[in-house]
């Protein structure tokens, strides 16, 4: 993912992002390693430790924000780095990204690391123009530091160190035998010393060919040709791309040779480029393999994505007959099973690849090229049948909330979620944030209505802040909401694949983890939904519609009184004495930057030697 900055205007001009996985699958090992790292970080966070895991729907939220800000963007078909580099040089723009691979690319106007931006430190030039201080990495300045090293040697440096595409164990033979300067064999700061030593060693050669020949001298003769081929192939990843992304910003479309060779329907290619279809879809199409990203969930339970598997099986069924050209590509990743897709998922605290069968659909749904030709009614029917929801249930619901409510009905029907009443209530309350914002910003509303909306909105904000101040995470509750988010994610992907028969919700105001967790705690303590909503009648009425739509799909157990005993006698006694109370209570409620391993991040340190010395002292 990266952004390109205009050199004329202070605002971001365009944004380009990675699409699906590379069709050659060169990065599969790296992807698996990152998936394992995310699981470990998610586990650490789940037990109160440190770590960083992006929210599941962060990509979708980001795209919605870009659209709101009217930022032009394109989603590349697969790996985007080369395409972004080529576009940046065409436009003479620097690249903003957290990917340290851009330290290796020959960018004319440099690379601005995301973590170098002082976002809260806004400065002014002569009282007229505002700017945010940042650093710009220059390859020319970097190479000048290493005896005016030839820039063309940097790709060889990257593959010798090991990057996302290649990490050959045999390179250790070269690194251990070559006499690299700066004490490369020191036990302290070993990696830093090795990088410095390798850069200084490479700086003595005029070009990559000469340097590569000298590398191969340290390897056994039987391995040299094979290693040379692999290294040269990997170095190509840092060269100019054939793709011209500028065509997309000028004409609304661009030619991607890899995508064209696969024979995918035109509407699919356009939707992928515009970000209207997720990289999840292109991975399933091309590789018949998808990656289910781990959330901060209960690692002792089955992963939260299990609940949404039936939705994915329908998605896979729609993608089965996309193109005959895909057969050869997808069969490389899977055994010859006509309906099989593989999913990389969490099992305990490790990853596993599971084989999932697609659902065979009716003939008129099985031709991806003609999917957009189906009537709105047919597409909506397929979506709601997948979610097991009756269309009439959604009639009183505002258009922007129909999909989240339908997904919530699906979520409630799965007993493995172990959903309680306060979970459902908190979720529905969080859905009121968008409508509250609309009331507050609507000029036609009466002052009394606006004040009530403002009071409720302020209360929600107070709950969020209080939750963020260190409230202990309820792991079972977190897991339940992770399951809901997975259902929403797959529900959105299916909705997008069917050309949005239901409007997409505004994710920026639909769900907030700190809000729903905070509301759960309040509802368990003393607060009731009725008292909370009493300050805003409009929000109360909308909540009633949301609750009425979802309650018929919820298991009856969630409406039973709190603290129900396992004792049969106590259970019978409570049922007899509180039957009417329970009915009354139900009625009342009815009314009521993946950080990861940044391999070349060290290159952005202003003084490499000082950094190395500091690591030695540590």
Residue 257 has pLDDT above 80, yes or no: yes
Residue 209 binned pLDDT confidence (cut-offs 50, 70, 90)? very high
* SS3 label, residue 553: coil
464-480 average pLDDT score: 87
Residue 21 confidence (pLDDT): 67
For residue 262, the SS3 value is coil
Pick the residue with more confidence: 227 or 171?
Answer: 227
- Under the banding of pLDDT at 50, 70 and 90, the label for residue 365 is confident
- Residue 2: pLDDT band by 50, 70, 90 thresholds? low
Spell out the residues 6+ positions from residue 147 whose beta carbon is closer than 8 angstroms to its own: 200, 203, 204
pTM: 0.85
H/E segment holding residue 210: helix 208-216
The yes-or-no verdict on residue 564 having pLDDT over 70 is no
Mean pLDDT across 97-123: 91
- In this structure, the chain runs to a length of 618
pLDDT at 5 over 90: no
Compute φ and ψ for 216, nearest 5 degrees.
Answer: -65, -25
* 146 pLDDT more than 60: yes
Query: Would you state the pLDDT for residue 326?
Result: 62
Portion of the chain with pLDDT greater than 70, in percent: 80
CB 501 within 8 A of CB 495: yes
User: What tokens were used for 182?
Assistant: 């700066």
Q: What DSSP element (H or E) covers 184?
A: none
Beta bridge partners of 96: 3, 112
pLDDT in tens, 343-356: 999 999 999 999 99
Judged by average pLDDT, the poorest of 84-93, 210-219, 594-603 is 594-603
Tell me, what's the pLDDT at 584? 36
Q: What is the pLDDT of residues 26-54, one digit of tens each?
A: 678 888 888 999 999 999 999 888 888 99
Residue 618 predicted with pLDDT over 80:
no
CA distance 495 to 499: 6
User: What's the pLDDT at 260?
Assistant: 85
pLDDT tens-digit map of 259-286: 888 889 999 999 999 999 999 999 999 9
With both helix axes pointing from N to C terminus, report the angle between 513-525 and 447-468 in degrees, rounded to the nearest 10: 90
Which distant-in-sequence residues (6+ apart) come within 8 Å of 559 by Cβ? 421, 551, 582, 585, 586
Residue 565's Cβ-count burial label (10 Å; 0-12, 13-18, 19+) is exposed
Report the distance separating Cα 601 and Cα 292, nearest Å: 27
In this model, does residue 164 exceed pLDDT 50? yes
Name the β-bridge partners of 290. Answer: 343
> What are the two backbone dihedrals, phi and then psi, of residue 317, each rounded to the nearest 5 degrees?
-60, -40
- Over residues 398-441, the pLDDT tens digits come to 999 999 999 999 999 987 778 999 999 999 999 999 999 999 98
Residues 6+ apart with CB under 8 A from 363: none
Mean pLDDT, residues 320-347: 70
Q: How far is CA 40 from CA 114, 349, 478, in A?
A: 24, 7, 17
pLDDT at 614: 41
What spatial distance separates the first Cα and last Cα of the chain, rounded to whole Å?
Answer: 33
pLDDT(59) > 70: yes
- CA distances to 180, 211, 218, 576 from 232, rounded to whole Å, are 22, 12, 17, 78
Helix residue ranges per DSSP H, 416-474? 421-430, 433-441, 447-468
pLDDT at 482 over 90: yes
Residue 375 tokens read as 């009537």
Degrees, nearest 5: CA angle 94-202-144? 45
Q: Where residue 303 falls among pLDDT bands split at 50, 70, 90? A: very high
Question: pLDDT tens digit string along 368-389?
Answer: 999 999 999 999 999 999 999 9
What does pLDDT average to over the chain? Answer: 84
Q: What are phi and psi of 97, to 5 degrees?
A: -165, 165
pLDDT of residue 603: 64
Place of tokens 């003609």: 370
């Amino acid at each position: 993912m990266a952004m390109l900055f205009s050199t004329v205007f202070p605002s971001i001009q365009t944004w380009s992002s990675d699409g699906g996985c590379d069709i050659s699958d060169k990065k599969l090992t790296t992807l698996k390693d990152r998936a394992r790292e995310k699981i470990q970080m998610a586990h650490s966070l789940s037990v109160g430790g440190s770590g960083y895991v992006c929210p599941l729907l962060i990509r979708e939220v980001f795209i919605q924000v870009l659209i709101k800000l009217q930022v032009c963007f394109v989603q590349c078909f697969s790996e985007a780095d080369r395409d972004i580099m080529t576009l940046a040089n065409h436009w003479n723009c620097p690249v903003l990204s957290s990917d340290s691979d851009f330290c290796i690319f020959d960018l004319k106007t440099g690379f601005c690391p995301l973590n170098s931006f002082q976002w809260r430190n806004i400065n002014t030039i002569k009282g007229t123009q505002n700017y945010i201080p940042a650093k710009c990495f220059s390859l020319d300045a970097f190479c000048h530091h290493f005896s005016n090293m030839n820039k063309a040697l940097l790709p060889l440096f990257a593959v010798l160190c090991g990057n996302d595409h290649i990490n050959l164990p045999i390179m250790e033979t070269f690194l251990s035998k070559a006499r690299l300067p700066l004490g490369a064999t020191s036990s302290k700061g070993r990696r830093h010393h090795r990088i410095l030593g390798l850069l200084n060693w490479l700086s003595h050669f005029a070009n990559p060919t000469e340097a590569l020949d000298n590398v191969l001298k340290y390897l056994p003769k039987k391995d040299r040709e094979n290693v040379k081929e692999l290294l040269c192939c990997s170095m190509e990843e840092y060269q100019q791309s054939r793709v011209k992304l500028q065509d997309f910003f000028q004409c609304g479309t661009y030619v991607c040779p890899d995508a064209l060779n696969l024979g995918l329907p035109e509407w699919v290619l356009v939707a992928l480029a515009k970000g209207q279809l997720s990289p999840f879809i292109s991975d399933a199409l091309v590789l018949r393999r998808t990656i289910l990203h781990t959330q901060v969930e209960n690692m002792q339970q089955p992963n939260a994505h299990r609940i949404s598997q039936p939705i994915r099986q329908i998605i896979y069924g729609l993608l089965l007959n996309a193109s005959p050209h895909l057969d050869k590509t997808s069969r490389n990743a899977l055994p010859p099973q006509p309906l099989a897709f593989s999913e990389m998922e969490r099992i305990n605290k490790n990853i596993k690849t599971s084989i999932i069968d697609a659902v065979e659909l009716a003939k008129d749904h099985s031709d991806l090229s003609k999917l957009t030709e189906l009537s709105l009614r047919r597409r909506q029917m397929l979506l709601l049948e997948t979610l097991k929801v009756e269309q009439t249930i959604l009639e009183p619901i505002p258009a922007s909330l129909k999909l989240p409510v339908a997904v919530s009905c699906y979520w409630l029907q799965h007993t493995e979620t172990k959903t309680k009443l306060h979970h459902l209530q908190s979720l529905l309350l969080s859905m009121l944030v968008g409508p509250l914002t609309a009331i507050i910003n609507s000029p036609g509303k009466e002052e009394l209505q606006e004040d009530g909306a403002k009071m409720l909105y302020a209360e929600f904000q107070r709950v969020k802040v209080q939750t963020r101040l260190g409230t202990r995470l309820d792991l079972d509750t977190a897991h339940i909401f992770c399951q809901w988010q997975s259902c929403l994610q797959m529900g959105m992907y299916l909705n997008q694949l069917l050309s949005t028969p239901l409007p997409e919700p505004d994710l920026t105001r639909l769900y907030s983890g700190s809000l729903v967790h905070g509301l759960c705690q309040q509802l368990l303590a003393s607060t009731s939904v009725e008292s909370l909503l009493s300050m805003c009648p409009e929000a109360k009425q909308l909540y009633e519609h949301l609750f009425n739509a979802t309650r018929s799909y919820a298991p009856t157990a969630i409406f039973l009184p709190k603290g129900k005993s396992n004792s049969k006698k106590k259970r019978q006694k409570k049922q007899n004495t509180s039957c009417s109370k329970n009915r009354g209570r139900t009625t009342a409620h009815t009314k009521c930057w993946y950080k990861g391993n940044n391999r070349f991040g060290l290159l952005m340190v202003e003084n490499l030697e000082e950094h190395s010395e500091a690591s030695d002292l540590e």
